[in-house]
Every structure is written in structure tokens, then in C-alpha cells.
């Protein structure tokens, strides 16, 4: 596989390895059946909550997809559908539906009417570069603040929210390594007195969010710094 | 390297398509085939021209979205390699490469190289059912699965649903059985049987 991609035979020259972002952590709350807070809307597979804790470990997305697809959803969605099967087609005249449709149409029209000259790739690359350099595996307050300002100027706001979340978390833990918070040996320094919570961000207006703290309680284990030694 | 592309352009499933010729300069041999298209499309967009529509998702060989007929073969010249995993080093400087959408009546063209593969979904849905849990099944460890069956099940799981076999073979399932021994063939075959 490596040879196929790089054209270099790893049996003869050392493999070139570099880090890359390919997954984001955090997301929707689901119940035991993987249904979100919206009845009938399931989040599963790669979009699943996490069998692995709030921090995703390597190579687990594929497992998640397989486990959910093969073992979980066939047993859970059926129970929901079995009582829904008698529900007639839902009308699209409902005022909420009309409002939602209009909102989406307006946003799309606004984007289309700009008659932009730049490609999707152009934005993807630029935003990607900001996120990679300033909200990457190692992040610090100065760079995060710069990133927030740069994103506000040109881009959609999800990246901004990720930076805001990283900025408020004044500790290092899991995939979040704040350069200001490390041990002398360069390991992640946790602050469980102040940050033993999951931040659930609530959209309150255009680019306005409110943070809801959802406390993390551990009954059977004590949280501690992870040691790779 | 410099490449000449002859690409199938078709606005939608009803209009007639035609080949369009593009020159792509400064192609690196380390680019994937799709990245080469990205470079071309970026240029076309900057020139205010219509980019070439193509399907892709994972770009790591596991989703089966990157359907393209390249020089008369689905996914191009290599065996068992999807278009996104095909690199330009498989071609030579100055080459002319012909790129078409999947050729099959079952896959109508949406635009250019992007086809509608929902016929696969329809076949799967034709035998579809939803089960409701009404009690506990026997413990799986107490049901022994012969090794041969387990191996076949694994082969079935290896299909990524890309549709290359359908595009390649007018008889639908021979390609898959011969080359990938995989499930799409059986789904297609059983779907056909049911309709007949
Ligand atoms: S069996 Fe057909 S659809 Fe499945 S991976 Fe092989 S070529 Fe693609
Ligand atoms: S893009 Fe997923 S297999 Fe090629």
C-alpha cells in the first residue's frame, strides 16, 4: 500500500511518516441505541459518539463503522421503525419545514449570488492551512486568537468554534495539546480540577455560541495523566 | 510531466455528451489521478470555464466513489487499484489519456464523469427487511461457522460497492466473480433473478 502511494519500496528505504488531520473529535450526544436528541435521527458509524471516550485513538473509526453497521443499528433502528411504519408521508407544508427550507435557500442564494471567482479548493486550502498551523495538534493562546480573527474575516464559522473551544480549555488532554500546559518532559499536563467537563456549544445567533458544561463523572476509575513510557 | 486528457463532457443524463481535450502541464508523478484533475479544475475555474465533474470521497481506496473509465479500463491500468490510488507515475510524459464515466445503462450520467449508482441500492433494497428484536438470539459462540464460510463472508465484506464490475462487464457479474470474487456479483445476480 505504501509503495503504491509513494512509489518508494519501504523494504529498501525508510518510510516517510508525517502527521495529518483526518478526524475531528466531539459531536452529538446519542442514547444507548445511537439515536440523537432528534427522534429518528441516528448518529452512527464514523459519526458515532465514541466507544473510545471523548478522545479518539488511532484506527478506531473503521471499527466503529463496522460495529455500528453490523451489530448495533440492525437491532436498534428496527424498534424505532416498527412503530413508525404506520406513519403516513409527512407533509412539507408544516410552518417549521417551510421556515427551515427558506433559511437554507436564502443562505445558498446568498452564496451563489456573490458570483465568486474562487474555487472550493481555494477556500479549503486556505482555511485548512490556518487550522493546521494554529489549531493543530499543538496549539497556543496567541495563535488560536489569530486564527479566530482570520476565520472571522473570510470563512465559515465551524473552524472558528473549534479554535474557541481549544482556547478556553486551559489544559492539555488527549488530542488537545496546549503548548502552555506541558510537563517538563513535554507531556500533556491535565487540569482535572477545572476542566473535567465536555463543552457543549449552543448556537445562540449568527456566530454566537454559549458554552454548556457537561460534567464528566468517573465512578470506577481515577482520571490521570496518560503515560506512554 | 505534460498530459493530454480526452475527457467525456456531458451536461446531464439527457443531453448528448462529447469528448473534450485538455492539456495539463506540470503534472507531478506523485499526484494521484484525482489530484491531477484537481489541478485541471482549479485552472478551468480560474479561467471561468466549466470544471470536469467527477465523484470522490475517501481518496484512500475504501469508499468506491471515484468511478472513472481510464484508457478503456475501469479505474485505469493497475489491478485492484481504485482511481484515487492511481498515481501519475503510472503514465509517461506526453501521454494522451482517455477518461470516460462508467459505461453501463444501469448507471446514468449525472454530469461528465459522475454517474448515478443508486441501482445498486435498489437491488439491495429489493431484498431489504428490517428486523425487530423480539428476544435473545442464541449465543454466537455456540454456532460454529465452517472456515470456508467464514472466508467467503470475508470476501463479501471486501466489496466497496464502487461499481467497476458492472461498468466493465456487459454480463454484469463475471468480472466480479473472476477478479474479486466478491459480493456485488451475488447481489446483482440475485437481484436479477428476483425481477425475472
Ligand atoms: S465487486 Fe464490483 S463493486 Fe465490489 S469492489 Fe469489486 S468491482 Fe467494485
Ligand atoms: S475516493 Fe474512495 S475509493 Fe477512491
Per the structure, the complete domain to which residue A160 belongs is given by 119-215
Residue A44 lies in a domain: yes
pLDDT above 90: residue A208: no
Do both B111 and B143 map to the same domain?
A: no
> Range with the lowest mean pLDDT among A103-112, B49-58, B111-120, B141-150?
B141-150
Mean pLDDT over each residue of chain B, to the nearest integer: 84
> Structural domain tally of chain A?
2
Q: Counting atoms of ligand 1 from 1, which one is nearest the CA of B158?
A: 5
* The pLDDT value given to residue A195: 94
- Whether residues A133 and A211 fall in one domain: yes
For the cut 80, the answer to whether the pLDDT of residue B184 exceeds it is no
Q: Does the residue A53 lie in any domain?
A: yes
**Using an 8 Å Cβ cutoff, are A33 and A76 in contact?**
yes
Q: Which three cell numbers stand for residue B15?
A: 443531453
Of A7, A81, A122, the CB nearest to B130: A81
C-alpha cell at position A228: 506512554
Confidence of residue B196 (pLDDT cuts 50, 70, 90): very low
Chain B interface, best mutation among A1, A46, A63, A119, by max B CB count within 10 A: A119
CA distance B171 to chain A (A): 30
> A25-29, A179-183, B144-148 — which one is most confidently predicted on average?
A179-183
A113 touches chain B (CB under 8 A): no
Structural domain containing residue B152 = 118-195
| Half-sphere exposure at residue B34, Cβ-oriented, CA atoms within 13 angstroms | 22
The reply to whether B34 and B62 lie within a common domain is yes
Same domain, B106 and B17: yes
Most confident of A24-33, B76-85, B125-134: B76-85
User: Is B63 near ligand 2, meaning CB less than 6 Å away?
Assistant: yes
Residues B67 and B122 in one domain: no
Do residues B108 and B24 both lie within one domain?
yes
Residues near A125 by beta carbon (within 8 Å), at least 6 away in sequence: none
Report pLDDT for B188. Answer: 47
B162 and B107 belong to one structural domain: no
- Residues of B whose CB is below 8 A from A78: 130-133
Q: Residue B59, exposed/middle/buried by CB under 10 A (0-12, 13-18, 19+)?
A: middle
Task: For residues A198 and A195, give the distance between their C-alpha atoms in angstroms, rounded to a whole number.
Answer: 8
User: Of B115, B134, B155, which marks where a domain is finished?
Assistant: B115
> What is the CATH classification number for the domain harbouring A130?
1.20.58.100
> Mean pLDDT across the stretch B135-152?
82
Of B96, B115, B134, the residue at which a domain comes to its end is B115
ipTM (interface pTM):
0.72
Question: What is the structure's pLDDT at B145?
Answer: 86
pLDDT at B156: 79
Through-space distance between the first and last CA atoms of chain B, rounded to whole angstroms: 51
Based on the domain organization, do B111 and B122 belong to the same domain?
no
**CATH code for position B49:** 3.10.20.30
Q: Are residues A79 and A148 in the same domain?
A: no
Q: Are residues A208 and A148 in the same domain?
A: yes
pLDDT at A150: 94
Regarding the beta carbon of B15 and ligand 2, being less than 6 Å apart is answered: no
Amino acid at each position: 500500500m505504501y509503495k503504491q502511494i509513494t512509489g518508494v519500496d519501504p523494504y529498501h528505504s525508510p518510510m516517510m511518516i508525517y502527521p495529518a488531520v483526518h478526524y475531528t473529535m466531539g459531536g452529538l450526544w446519542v442514547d444507548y441505541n445511537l439515536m440523537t436528541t432528534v427522534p429518528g435521527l441516528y448518529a452512527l458509524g464514523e459519526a458515532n459518539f465514541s466507544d473510545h471516550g471523548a478522545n479518539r485513538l488511532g484506527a478506531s473509526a473503521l471499527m466503529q463503522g463496522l460495529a455500528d453497521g453490523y451489530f448495533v443499528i440492525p437491532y436498534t433502528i428496527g424498534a424505532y421503525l416498527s412503530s413508525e411504519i404506520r406513519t403516513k408521508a409527512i407533509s412539507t407544508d408544516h410552518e417549521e419545514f417551510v421556515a427551515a427550507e427558506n433559511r437554507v435557500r436564502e443562505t445558498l442564494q446568498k452564496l451563489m449570488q456573490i458570483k465568486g471567482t474562487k474555487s472550493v479548493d481555494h477556500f479549503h486550502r486556505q482555511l485548512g492551512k490556518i487550522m493546521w498551523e494554529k489549531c493543530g495538534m499543538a496549539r497556543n493562546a496567541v495563535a488560536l486568537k489569530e486564527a479566530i480573527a482570520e476565520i472571522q474575516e473570510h470563512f465559515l464559522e465551524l473552524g472558528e468554534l473549534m479554535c474557541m473551544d481549544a482556547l478556553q480549555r486551559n489544559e492539555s488532554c488527549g488530542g488537545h495539546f496546549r503548548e502552555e500546559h506541558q510537563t517538563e518532559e513535554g507531556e500533556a499536563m491535565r487540569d482535572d480540577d477545572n476542566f473535567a467537563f465536555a463543552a457543549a456549544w449552543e448556537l445562540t445567533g449568527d456566530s454566537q455560541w454559549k458554552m454548556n458544561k457537561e460534567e464528566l463523572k468517573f465512578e470506577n476509575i481515577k482520571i490521570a495523566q496518560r503515560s506512554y513510557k | 510531466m505534460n498530459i493530454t486528457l480526452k475527457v467525456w463532457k456531458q451536461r446531464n443524463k439527457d443531453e448528448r455528451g462529447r469528448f473534450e481535450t485538455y492539456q495539463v502541464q506540470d503534472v507531478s508523478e506523485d499526484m494521484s489521478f484525482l489530484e491531477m484533475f484537481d489541478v485541471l479544475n482549479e485552472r478551468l475555474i480560474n479561467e471561468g470555464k466549466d470544471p470536469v465533474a467527477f465523484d470522490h470521497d475517501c481518496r484512500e481506496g475504501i469508499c468506491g466513489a471515484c468511478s472513472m473509465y481510464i484508457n478503456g479500463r475501469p479505474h485505469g491500468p493497475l489491478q485492484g487499484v481504485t482511481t484515487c490510488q492511481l498515481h501519475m507515475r503510472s503514465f509517461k510524459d506526453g501521454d494522451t489519456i482517455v477518461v470516460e464515466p462508467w459505461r453501463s445503462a444501469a448507471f446514468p450520467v449525472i454530469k461528465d464523469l459522475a454517474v448515478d449508482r443508486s441501482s445498486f441500492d435498489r437491488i439491495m433494497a429489493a431484498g431489504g427487511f428490517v428486523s425487530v428484536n423480539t428476544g435473545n438470539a442464541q449465543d454466537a459462540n455456540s454456532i460454529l461457522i465452517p472456515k470456508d464460510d467464514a472466508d467467503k463472508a470475508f470476501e463479501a465484506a471486501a466489496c466497496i460497492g464502487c461499481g467497476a464490475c458492472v461498468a466493465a462487464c456487459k454480463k454484469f457479474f463475471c468480472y466480479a466473480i473472476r477478479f474479486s470474487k466478491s459480493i456485488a456479483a451475488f447481489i446483482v445476480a440475485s437481484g436479477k433473478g428476483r425481477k425475472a
